[in-house]
Amino acid sequence: MSNLDVLYPVMEHFYTIQGEGFYTGHAAYFVRLGGCNVGCVWCDVKESWDVDAHPKISVQEIIDNVLKSGTKICVITGGEPAMHDLTPLIDALKSNNIRSHIETSGAYPIQGSPDWICLSPKKFKFPIIEVLSIANEFKPVIFHHSDIQWAESYTKDLNPDCKLYLQTEWSKSESILPLIIEYVKSNPQWQISLQTHKYLNIP
């Protein structure tokens, strides 16, 4: 079987603007893969968790849609995309000069060589050192005030060039964002990530 014939469970795919982290504001094609057992209570895409609930789409079809959009960036998200071997999809993106970005909890080894790894660790299934050491961007979601120190505890295992972001969980913004602001003012190695796509009312 050709790599272009490999199938992935795709919950949804769409062209939009990256709303979070280092690439905020960039146009990007999102491919949301099904399958996740991390179990975040505040997850806003719980329908992605069941890997068998989503249609299987070939790498070729995914690439065709990405190319039609005219984008230079494809974000592979989930669910937990690292539960899948992403090598065929990432290789196909590279061969078409499309940057491959992955959004992961870091709970599983990453198969394939994406151009950008956004690591958003979760307390429900801790990140592994293998992913911590190669992440380009570290973006924990802060749900409770204690999560800031929890996130800080992982920084010793990150590579020195990793970008550090704190992002409030959307429903807790009113109470948590002021804490994050004060923390970043006292710890300027961190930056604040906002879910700007929710302010813009886009996917």
Question: What's the total number of domains in the chain?
Answer: 1
Q: Which domain holds residue 175?
A: 3-200
What CATH number is given to the structural domain containing 37? 3.20.20.70
In terms of pLDDT, which residue wins out, 76 or 173?
76
Radius of gyration of the chain (CA): 17
Is residue 29 very low, low, confident or very high in pLDDT (cuts 50, 70, 90)? very high
pLDDT of residue 45: 78
- Average per-residue pLDDT in the chain? 94
Which pLDDT band, with edges at 50, 70 and 90, does 158 fall under? very high
For the stretch 173-197, pLDDT in tens is 888 999 999 999 999 999 999 988 8
Give every CB contact of residue 199 below 8 A, 6+ residues apart in sequence: none
Q: What is the pLDDT of residues 122-157, one digit of tens each?
A: 888 899 999 999 999 999 999 999 999 999 999 999
Q: What percent of the chain has pLDDT over 70?
A: 99
Six token digits for residue 202:
């886009």
The gap from C-alpha 108 to its chain's centroid, in whole angstroms, comes to 13
d(CA 37, CA 165): 24
